[in-house]
Amino acid sequence: MQTQPKASHFIDGAYVEDTSGTPIDVIYPATGETIATVYAATPAIVDQAITAARKAQGAWAAMTGTERGRILRRAADIMRERNHDLSVLETYDTGKPYQETSVADATSGADALEYFGGIAASLTGEHIQLGEDWVYTRREPLGVCVGIGAWNYPTQIACWKGAPALACGNAIIFKPSETTPLCALKVAEILHEAGLPAGLYNVVQGMGEVGASLVTDPRIDKVSLTGSVPTGRKVYAAAAEGIKHVTMELGGKSPMIVFEDADIENAISGAILGNFYSSGQVCSNGTRVFVHRDIKEVFLKRLAERLENAVIGDPMDPETSFGPMVSKRQMDIALGYIEKGKAEGARLVFGGNAIDGAGFYMQPTVFADVTDDMTIAREEIFGPVMSVLDFEDEDDVMTRANDTEFGLSAGVFTRDLTRAHRVAAKFEAGTCYINTYNDAPVEAPFGGMKNSGVGRENSKAAIEHYSQLKSVYVRMGDLEAPF
Ligand code: NAD
């Protein structure tokens, strides 16, 4: 497969190159080889993208929702037709196994394009009768939006931000993570092939400073970031200077509670999906697994047995179920946390090591006897490191589960119906799960409470974050004035 893109950026409906920007090598995580090089956007490139977006947005907003939606839905169909190639590219970009990328990335992006394409025609304001007078509201686009992505789901993030932005009549400029610059270019290509007018979906490459230059530009109306909490703080503050709309999809350290009456195999499936999918590089992962003391040893024994079945290897092999980390840097961060876990007295019950050879491979890792104060139980690791903590009492475990700065996700495994809903209601988290973990259908709102974020992606809720209401008061009679 050709992994070197035609050019680094996609602006005004075409590939654009400017080799005077800082070169960014794209590394295939399975081998450590450089598979492409792109160049960070120079100020001239950033200006070109913003100018194109501003120029195109008005005519796009003036089209009917049906027309806009048709283009998005056509793009969804093309994405599905090309799922194989897009999945291979996603695997090159991220190292995630094809077994995952073929069902979770372009497919999820296509879902977003289809869903928001379907919703575009039914976006309306409302009529409010006030005696003879009345008010009507118009749902208007925000203008030009900026999307900034993390590296774990490059295709999905490019679509989760692009689809609602475009459905609402905005233009968007997307800056992928510098670690995974390839996939968003394909999203841009497909949208234009589907009939999207030039200038509405632009991709510019670069590091944080390119993102920062977009966020601070007065011609930008909205910023949607997927990234870490420290980056979120900076981007939120910069956006506040210009009183811009924001969506912040940030990090997490989510709890998963396994009660003594849970179906233990299902709970282990949840713990595996919520810790080791994408080699643990998922923001919503349930990395603090609270297991009731009565079932803890059975849980750990079965978990270890099932982890032996992980197929670690070439991510392009459809049998492989656990791939490399996205980068050496990310692997070193995770390995550093494993050392901290050991040093602070957690019991290593599975994995714990890097795997020799090419690429950035490490073992899925489980610690038991983790206590709430340990670093591995407090900080986001963003790697395949599960912490198992004990509990006995529901009230106590709820307090402990919520005792974190984060609030992205949370899960509960139990057969007790009322307990399941009681626990879900008490979780301080935006996305909760009962007897499952990490499902993220486009129909459901996704996002965080507390430091994990602001706003919601997906579902009808995202429309609120990509449009604004104007109210128009209409007087039907004469207007009285005091003089
Ligand atoms: P990161 O915060 O390092 O970078 C995210 C993006 O922000 C990158 O594109 C980066 O170039 C850009 N950036 C950095 N500094 C910037 C600045 N000052 N101004 C503008 N842009 C700037 O995150 P990452 O390492 O790419 O991704 C991992 C993090 O993302 C984890 O914390 C993870 O939890 C989070 N994440 C959250 C979600 C979610 O939906 N909540 C999804 C995936 C990842």
- Average pLDDT of the residues of the chain: 98
Give the angle 155-232-403 at the CA atoms, nearest 5°.
105
- Residue nearest (by alpha carbon) to ligand 1 atom 39: 249
Q: Can you tell me the mean pLDDT for 385-410?
A: 98
Q: Can you tell me the mean pLDDT for 437-451?
A: 98
Confidence of residue 60 (pLDDT cuts 50, 70, 90): very high
Which atom, in ligand 1's list, is nearest to the CA of 234? 18
Alpha-carbon distance of 41 to 19, in angstroms, equals 9
Which atom, in ligand 1's list, is nearest to the CA of 215? 20
If you measure from the C-alpha of residue 299 to the centroid of ligand 1, how many angstroms do you get, rounded to a whole number? 33
Alpha-carbon distance of 16 to 10, in angstroms, equals 6
Question: What's residue 4's pLDDT?
Answer: 98
- Residue nearest (by alpha carbon) to ligand 1 atom 14: 208
Question: What's residue 112's pLDDT?
Answer: 99
**Which one of 183, 283, 337 would you pick to mutate in the ligand 1 pocket, going by the greatest count of ligand atoms within 8 A of its CB?**
283
How, if at all, do strands 171-175 and 144-148 pair? Answer: parallel
- Residue nearest (by alpha carbon) to ligand 1 atom 30: 227
Question: What's residue 14's pLDDT?
Answer: 98
Which atom, in ligand 1's list, is nearest to the CA of 232? 2
Question: What's residue 63's pLDDT?
Answer: 98
Confidence of residue 359 (pLDDT cuts 50, 70, 90): very high
Confidence of residue 265 (pLDDT cuts 50, 70, 90): very high
Alpha-carbon distance of 459 to 457, in angstroms, equals 7
**Amino acid in the structure at residue 231:** T
Which atom, in ligand 1's list, is nearest to the CA of 150? 26
Which residue, 159, 196, 202, 153, is CA-closest to 177? Answer: 153
If you measure from the C-alpha of residue 102 to the centroid of ligand 1, how many angstroms do you get, rounded to a whole number? 24
Which residue, 426, 413, 429, is CA-closest to 289? Answer: 413
Which residue, 144, 148, 142, 145, is CA-closest to 210? Answer: 148
If you measure from the C-alpha of residue 108 to the centroid of ligand 1, how many angstroms do you get, rounded to a whole number? 20
If you measure from the C-alpha of residue 152 to the centroid of ligand 1, how many angstroms do you get, rounded to a whole number? 10
Question: What's residue 197's pLDDT?
Answer: 99
Enumerate residues lining ligand 1, CB below 6 A: 148-152, 175, 177-178, 207-208, 211-212, 215, 226-228, 231, 234-235, 249-252, 283, 380, 382, 408, 448, 453
Q: Can you tell me the mean pLDDT for 247-256?
A: 98
Which residue, 304, 410, 403, 428, is CA-closest to 363? Answer: 304
Which residue, 385, 353, 382, 379, is CA-closest to 366? Answer: 385
If you measure from the C-alpha of residue 192 to the centroid of ligand 1, how many angstroms do you get, rounded to a whole number? 27
**Which one of 93, 145, 148, 459 would you pick to mutate in the ligand 1 pocket, going by the greatest count of ligand atoms within 8 A of its CB?**
148
151-173 tens-digit pLDDT: 999 999 999 999 999 999 999 99
- Residue nearest (by alpha carbon) to ligand 1 atom 23: 227
- Residue nearest (by alpha carbon) to ligand 1 atom 21: 211
If you measure from the C-alpha of residue 478 to the centroid of ligand 1, how many angstroms do you get, rounded to a whole number? 55
172-222 tens-digit pLDDT: 999 999 999 999 999 999 999 999 999 999 999 999 999 999 999 999 999
Which atom, in ligand 1's list, is nearest to the CA of 408? 41
If you measure from the C-alpha of residue 177 to the centroid of ligand 1, how many angstroms do you get, rounded to a whole number? 7
**Which one of 228, 284, 431, 452 would you pick to mutate in the ligand 1 pocket, going by the greatest count of ligand atoms within 8 A of its CB?**
228
**Both tokens of residue 254?**
């989510």
Q: What is the 3-state secondary structure (H, E, C) of the chain?
A: CCCCCCCCEEECCEEECCCCCCEEEEEECCCCEEEEEEECCCHHHHHHHHHHHHHHHHHHHHCCHHHHHHHHHHHHHHHHHCHHHHHHHHHHHHCCCHHHHHHHCHHHHHHHHHHHHHHHHHCCCCEEEECCEEEEEEEEECCEEEEECCCCCHHHHHHHHHHHHHHCCCEEEEECCCCCCCHHHHHHHHHHHCCCCCCCEEECCCCHHHHHHHHHCCCCCEEEEECCHHHHHHHHHHHHHCCCEEEEECCCCCEEEECCCCCHHHHHHHHHHHHHHHHHCCCCCCCEEEEEHHHHHHHHHHHHHHHCCCCECCCCCCCCCECCCCCHHHHHHHHHHHHHHHHCCCEEEECCCECCCCCCCECCEEEECCCCCCHHHHCCCCCCEEEEEEECCHHHHHHHHHCCCCCCEEEEECCCHHHHHHHHHHCCCCEEEECCCCCCCCCCCECCCHHHEECCECCCHHHHHHEEEEEEEECCCCCCCCC
129-149 tens-digit pLDDT: 999 999 999 999 999 999 999
Question: What's residue 94's pLDDT?
Answer: 98
**Amino acid in the structure at residue 436:** T
Which atom, in ligand 1's list, is nearest to the CA of 176? 9
Which residue, 432, 431, 464, is CA-closest to 448? Answer: 431
The structure's pTM equals: 0.98
Which atom, in ligand 1's list, is nearest to the CA of 249? 41
Alpha-carbon distance of 370 to 396, in angstroms, equals 16
- Residue nearest (by alpha carbon) to ligand 1 atom 41: 249
- Residue nearest (by alpha carbon) to ligand 1 atom 19: 212
In this structure, what are the phi and psi dihedrals at residue 7, rounded to the nearest 5 degrees? -160, 170
Q: Which residues are catalytic?
A: 161, 249, 283, 457
If you measure from the C-alpha of residue 149 to the centroid of ligand 1, how many angstroms do you get, rounded to a whole number? 6
**Both tokens of residue 72?**
């998005």
Confidence of residue 456 (pLDDT cuts 50, 70, 90): very high
If you measure from the C-alpha of residue 248 to the centroid of ligand 1, how many angstroms do you get, rounded to a whole number? 10
Confidence of residue 332 (pLDDT cuts 50, 70, 90): very high
